[in-house]
Amino acid sequence: MSSRVSRISPRTVYVTLGYLAFTIFVIFPIIWVFMMSLKEFRDIIAYPPKFIFTPTLKNYAAILFGSETAGLTTGISDYVNFLKNSIIISGGAVLLSTIIGLPAAYSLARSSIGIKSMVAFTFLSFRFAPELAVILPLYKIYQELNLYDTFIGLILVHQLITLPLVIWIMLSFFREVPIEIEEAARVDGANVWQVLLNVAIPIVRPGIASALIIAFIFSWNNLIFGLVLAGGNTQPVTVGILQTMNFDQIKWGWMAAAAMIAAVPGMLIAIYFQRHLVRGLTMGALK
Amino acid sequence: MYSNNYKILQIIISLLIVFMISTLAACAGGATPTEQAPPPEAAEEQAEPAQEEEVQAPSTEGAELSLLLISHPFVDSLEPLIPEFEKETGIKVNLEVLAEQPGFEKILSDLSSGTGTYDLFMTDPLHNWQYASGGWLEPLDGYLDDPNLTDAVAYDVDDFFPGIWGAGKWNLEPMTGIGEGQLWAVPINYETYLLAYRPSILASQGVEIPKTYDDVLDAAIKLTYVDEDGQEVYGVITRFDKYWDLPYLTFGTMLQSYGVEMIDEEGNLGICTPESIAATELFIDIISQGSPEGAGAFTWYEALQGFASGQYAMSLDEADLFAPVYENPEESQVSDDVGYALTPLGPDGGRLAGAWIWQMSMNSASENKEAAWQFLQWLTSKDTLVKTHLGGNMNPVRLSSWEDPDVSAMVEAWGETPGQYREVVSEMAKVAGIRFPPHPELTRWLDRWAEAIQQSYFDGGNVEENLCAAQADIEKMMGE
Amino acid sequence: MTELRLRHSFQHNFPYKPILMISNSKHSARSLTARLSDDKFQYYLMFLPALILLVGIMYPFITGVYISFTNEKLYLPTVEFIGFGNYVNLISDRVFQQSVVTVIKYTLLVLVIQIPLGFAVAILLDETSPLQKFFRSSVVLPLLIPPIIAGLMWKTMMQPEAGVINWALQSIGLPAFSWLSNPKTALFSIVIIDTWVFMPFAALILLAGLQSVSHEIIEASKIDGASTWQILRFVKLPWMTPYILLVMVFRVADSLKTFELIYPTTRGGPLNATRVMHVLGYEEAFRWANMGRAMAIIFMLWLISYIVSNRLVKTWEKSSEETKGEF
């Protein structure tokens, strides 16, 4: 008789190791920079790198409230301004995309193929095109139109990111709305707008949420639009971090803190809103 | 129940409103933060404190200035002084400070956009050749000569070193005319190059201060070792980025000491000459033997930080104005153990050095020009400059600044022996100069040259081939 | 009543085909055809703002193409038409050629690394585990962080002298790596950062694919005696082809136009090791003030991306239909 030996199958071992490696790879950089944001300057430059240290909130305080440290430039004390700008730009972009994109997606879902299909694919192609192809000429055009370094200007350009997302995601959701319900409403005498507003949209509400969230985060994370078309008044947080970063060692703590804060929207979404992520990421091609 | 037309009307109206708002906002969007226009010039005096009063200023009170500055010890020294200016003049000043490379790109994109977001910005002769060509700089002669705006006696233009003041002038003719023509900028500091060293490390390894560049190579090898604490010490640090400042300034100093001229009177390029090749080969040797692996990508920030961190024995041909950082115990580990020496001699015993001048210029699209001039005048006045020098802004561009007792005393203490810094800087100033053709595309040509040098470092050789390829490319670029 | 029945049959002819219908409804005096056209008009109206924006975007794009045929510089007031001058110069320019090669190398590396890795992670995630939710959340994390932040994070960790990665490598006896400071290793290092950010994307898509395999077929295969490995190879993998292609579509397009991961991290250096076309275009405009040349570079990039993406999307569509047909 064999004694009872607890067996761990090789499979479990591989899977566990896989999970471990994967977690370390994915999570470690974030944790490392998070730690850096809590370190004193001397802990940051210490070598060998320190994993145990006394944390401090000085870095966050410095960038959020602009504390003065003797002899150091405080360019990063505009950080709160950058955050505000990002909120305005990304929030505004998503808002505009909703107003324009929802009806457009609905119309695409319900009308016959033809020029609409071509147009829809043109929107898709924006996702794949190098941004500078539009942004660089826009740099000149915006100057003439006085849109350079304005929020309206940036909200309009960010449509390049948010509008295709909203349209294609909502397209896939609208296609799932049962036509019978809409037909019933038509019978009751509703016109297409009313069907859209009172029937279709309430049904696809969760889809709208996910489309907006994805659109917001991609707009927030974007660097290149603001880099070319934003100036001193409208710089979003991504551009702000790039331009004030000079690898002056003393500032690394600030950089880490700034990075953490800028990553907060993304992290929140990863934790709380991952349900419809796949659909959003593939522009509606997958559910 | 539902009414077709009513709903449609609603929607059309809301769309129209959205479009109207966007257009209105677009038109209004061109406003800059500097809201108030300066009142007319023939103005009354404002009530200002009696001290430091140089100017009968027209009332620019309430104006707002935006400055774009490049991260630099100068900016650190300027910031505490801003509230003084604001109080005196009632002009609000906003600073934006960027790292060097993104900073220059931002200045370029902002100037070329013509929106006048920034009234003043930090610049230098090299970049001004491009900016002036684009018509983006406001000529300052008018403001300087206007007795209503400038107190000529107090400002005392002659107090500036003539070469440095003249570097702000250019007649807009490519390839000629530095020092002639309109005044495009006022100088804030200037730098030239020297050899900084750690007396204790040199002593511990029995190495003398190198006299020639060959000596530097020997010294670099001997000075790269592991010390008692197991820490690595490297012999040499200097910037080595694929960036125009390499052949223009630091390595440029070595090149010029080897007799290399970028372009001679006949218009021949000197990039691929035997002297240039010899200098480049030796330089690469020095870096390979005396610097750590990441040295191929060091910018001046890394060079400054590196030496201040104490890991390097020598800082080769690097900016003299790093001294205030080195000498400050809060910012460096080497404050009590640093010395300054002349840059090494070339093979023929020659010594020449590059020069760099930080300046401030006015945006021709600025809407607050008088207020901006007031700031420039205040900034480069004798008193303010001295205060910045005491705050770490080197080197003084006014003769009187060097004579100021506080500045004098501060500088006296720098170096291994008293007065060493001042002596070295004065000597180097005699051989420092801008020996390049003024041209809006010069940075592009120099970038290409720097690429060849960096390439040779990573190739581990091929210097002649790379330099000659660069020369051919640059000739092509010059022809366009 | 008549109207109701007619409407019911109308339902099955969706989407709208112009069907002549007679209505004797008291609600509206207008004929159904008139009503249909009304609907069509409404749909166009719904689409109109988006269309306007679309046209609006075309304008800068076309302007950009035109600029690429000029010698426009930021600091010169005059602009001249020079035909294909910029293009000819670029094609014979060593740095440009290098940027094309670099971006192609980059894309291939990304595909070769991220798809198998994403697959492995997808398989992992397919396993039920108590920590499922935690892993799914953490998978997405890198994807949702601004790429510039990701670049910064890795840049600090990848410092050759004082970075934590090299310290970790050396602690376990491996040699230090030069990461971003050596032209030979810089591109690969950026690909690693790219993988960290985007491999989750591949994993998520492939996971969706794995989880959508019909359970009946799997059960049937198991009954037939197939091993896990055989199921993987003959059932799951063919099913996965459209998903893999979909990942390729996005990854190829994104890799060709990489900018935000590279520019803040290395600025295209050291030397020209990471100077991909998009970065070169930006530099040409804002470092060397040459707009005409910059637009030429970017337009060529656009062309490459457009052709390749189109091809891939068509392949994906075809594969999608085929697979759905089989199963």
For the segment A187-241, what is each residue's pLDDT rounded down to a tens digit? 888 788 888 888 888 888 888 888 898 899 999 999 999 999 998 789 999 998 8
Which of C57, C227, C245 to probe by mutation at the A interface, max A CB count within 10 Å?
C57
For residue B432, is pLDDT > 60?
yes
Instruction: Kindly state whether residue A1 falls inside one of the protein's structural domains.
Output: no
Report the gap between the CA of B467 and the closest CA in chain C (Å): 14
Q: What is the CATH number of the domain that holds C242?
A: 1.10.3720.10
Both B237 and B364 in one domain: the answer is no
Instruction: Kindly state whether residue C47 falls inside one of the protein's structural domains.
Output: no
Alpha helix locations (H) across chain C?
Answer: 2-11, 32-67, 85-91, 94-126, 132-144, 147-157, 164-171, 183-211, 215-223, 228-230, 237-256, 263-266, 277-286, 291-326
Any A CB within 8 A of B115 CB: yes
Q: What is the pLDDT of residue C22?
A: 37
Query: What is the pLDDT averaged over residues A260-282?
Result: 80
Query: Which residue(s) pair with C70 in the sheet?
Result: C81
pLDDT tens per residue across span A100-129 = 999 999 988 887 656 777 777 788 888 899
Any C CB within 8 A of A282 CB: yes
Both A98 and A63 in one domain: the answer is no
B vs C: CB pairs below 8 A? 74
Instruction: Kindly state whether residue A227 falls inside one of the protein's structural domains.
Output: yes
What is the helix (H) or strand (E) element at residue B182, kind and residue range?
strand B182-183
Any B CB within 8 A of A113 CB: no
Closest Cα in chain C to A22: C121
Q: What is the pLDDT of residue B216?
A: 94
Both A69 and A86 in one domain: the answer is no
Q: What is the CATH number of the domain that holds B241?
A: 3.40.190.10
Both A157 and A274 in one domain: the answer is yes
Q: Which of A100, A112, A133 sits opposite C61 (nearest CB)?
A: A133
> CB–CB of A232 and B117 under 8 A?
yes
Instruction: Kindly state whether residue C216 falls inside one of the protein's structural domains.
Output: yes
Instruction: Kindly state whether residue A5 falls inside one of the protein's structural domains.
Output: no
> CB–CB of B1 and A150 under 8 A?
no
Residues of chain A contacting residue B25, judged by C-beta atoms under 8 Å apart = 150-152
Residue A182 — pLDDT band, cuts 50, 70, 90?
confident
Both A169 and A200 in one domain: the answer is yes
Both B101 and B219 in one domain: the answer is no
For residue B286, is pLDDT > 90?
yes
Q: Please state, rounded to an integer, the average pLDDT across all residues of chain B.
A: 85
Residues of chain A contacting residue C14, judged by C-beta atoms under 8 Å apart = 179
Both B168 and B291 in one domain: the answer is no
Report the gap between the CA of A117 and the closest CA in chain C (Å): 12
Residues of chain A contacting residue B118, judged by C-beta atoms under 8 Å apart = 232
* Cβ–Cβ under 8 Å, residues C158 and A33: no
Q: What is the pLDDT of residue B250?
A: 93
Both A201 and A230 in one domain: the answer is yes
Instruction: Kindly state whether residue A62 falls inside one of the protein's structural domains.
Output: yes
Report the gap between the CA of C264 and the closest CA in chain A (Å): 6
Instruction: Kindly state whether residue A187 falls inside one of the protein's structural domains.
Output: yes
Both B181 and B197 in one domain: the answer is no
Other CB atoms within 10 A of residue B382 CB: 17
> CB–CB of A30 and C153 under 8 A?
yes
Instruction: Kindly state whether residue B36 falls inside one of the protein's structural domains.
Output: no
CA distance B260 to B275: 6
Closest Cα in chain C to A134: C61
Give the alpha-carbon dihedral of B417, B421, B422, B427, to 10 degrees: 110
Both B218 and B96 in one domain: the answer is no
Instruction: Kindly state whether residue C33 falls inside one of the protein's structural domains.
Output: no
Instruction: Kindly state whether residue A87 falls inside one of the protein's structural domains.
Output: yes
First to last CA, chain B: 73
* Cβ–Cβ under 8 Å, residues B177 and B166: no
Strand B339-341 with B225-226, pairing = unpaired
Q: What is the pLDDT of residue B73?
A: 86
CA distance B62 to A75: 23
Domain boundary (A75, A99, A119) is at A75
* Cβ–Cβ under 8 Å, residues B2 and A189: yes
Closest Cα in chain A to B33: A233
CA distance B125 to B127: 6
Which of C180, C287, C291, C293 to probe by mutation at the B interface, max B CB count within 10 Å?
C287
Closest Cα in chain A to C162: A47
**pLDDT higher at B281 or C225:** B281
Number of domains in chain B: 2
For residue B36, is pLDDT > 60?
no
> CB–CB of A30 and C145 under 8 A?
yes
Q: How many Cα atoms sit within 13 Å of C192 on the Cβ side?
A: 16
Both A145 and A249 in one domain: the answer is yes
> CB–CB of B113 and A148 under 8 A?
yes
Both B119 and B262 in one domain: the answer is no
Number of domains in chain C: 1
Instruction: Kindly state whether residue B98 falls inside one of the protein's structural domains.
Output: yes
Q: What is the pLDDT of residue B33?
A: 34
DSSP class of C161: T
Q: Which residues contact A156 (CB under 8 A, 6 or more apart)?
A: A96, A147, B22, C53, C56
For residue B382, is pLDDT > 90?
yes
Q: Which of B7, B96, B118 sits opposite A194 (nearest CB)?
A: B7
Both A32 and A129 in one domain: the answer is no
Both B374 and B426 in one domain: the answer is no
> If you count them, how many residues does chain C have?
327
Strand, helix or coil for residue A204: coil
Both A24 and A129 in one domain: the answer is no
Report for B14-18, B70-74, B359-363: range of highest mean pLDDT: B359-363
A vs C: CB pairs below 8 A? 256
Q: What is the pLDDT of residue B94?
A: 86
Instruction: Kindly state whether residue C15 falls inside one of the protein's structural domains.
Output: no
Q: Residues B126, C292, C51, CA angle at the centre, nearest 5°?
A: 130
Q: Which residues contact C38 (CB under 8 A, 6 or more apart)?
A: A191, B4, C30
Instruction: Kindly state whether residue C71 falls inside one of the protein's structural domains.
Output: no
Both B340 and B459 in one domain: the answer is yes
Q: Please state, rounded to an integer, the average pLDDT across all residues of chain A.
A: 83
Instruction: Kindly state whether residue C98 falls inside one of the protein's structural domains.
Output: yes
Q: What is the pLDDT of residue C325?
A: 64
Q: What is the pLDDT of residue A243?
A: 79
Domain boundary (A24, A53, A75) is at A75
Q: Which string of DSSP letters, residue by residue, matches B236-304?
A: EE----SSTHIIIIIHHHHHHHTT--SB-TT--B-TTSHHHHHHHHHHHHHHHHHS-GGGGG--HHHHH
pLDDT tens per residue across span B116-139 = 889 999 999 999 999 999 999 999
Both B368 and B234 in one domain: the answer is no
What is the helix (H) or strand (E) element at residue A180, kind and residue range?
helix A179-187
CA distance B125 to B25: 38
Instruction: Kindly state whether residue B50 falls inside one of the protein's structural domains.
Output: no
Domain hosting residue A203, numbered range: 76-281
Both A33 and A66 in one domain: the answer is yes
Strand, helix or coil for residue B362: strand
Instruction: Kindly state whether residue B31 falls inside one of the protein's structural domains.
Output: no
For residue B188 the two structure tokens come to 């804030």
CB neighbour class for A40 (10 Å; exposed up to 12, middle 13-18, buried from 19): middle
Number of domains in chain A: 2
Instruction: Kindly state whether residue A3 falls inside one of the protein's structural domains.
Output: no
Residue A74 — pLDDT band, cuts 50, 70, 90?
very low
Instruction: Kindly state whether residue B26 falls inside one of the protein's structural domains.
Output: no
Both A47 and A20 in one domain: the answer is yes
CA distance C191 to A214: 24
pLDDT along chain C (327 residues), means of 10: 36 37 46 67 85 90 94 88 92 93 96 93 79 78 92 89 87 88 92 95 88 79 79 79 91 95 88 94 93 95 94 89 67
Strand B225-226 with B182-183, pairing = unpaired
Domain boundary (A34, A55, A75) is at A75
* Cβ–Cβ under 8 Å, residues B374 and B91: yes
Both B269 and B218 in one domain: the answer is yes
Both B283 and B153 in one domain: the answer is no
Instruction: Kindly state whether residue A247 falls inside one of the protein's structural domains.
Output: yes
Q: What is the pLDDT of residue C97?
A: 95
Both B332 and B202 in one domain: the answer is yes
Instruction: Kindly state whether residue B51 falls inside one of the protein's structural domains.
Output: no
Both A274 and A195 in one domain: the answer is yes
**pLDDT higher at B6 or C281:** C281
Q: Which of A130, A270, A282 sits opposite C205 (nearest CB)?
A: A282
Cis peptide bond upstream of A103, omega within 30: no
Domain hosting residue B389, numbered range: 64-190+357-403
For residue B27, is pLDDT > 70?
no
Domain hosting residue C120, numbered range: 93-326
* Cβ–Cβ under 8 Å, residues A261 and C147: no
Q: What is the CATH number of the domain that holds A223?
A: 1.10.3720.10
Instruction: Kindly state whether residue B32 falls inside one of the protein's structural domains.
Output: no
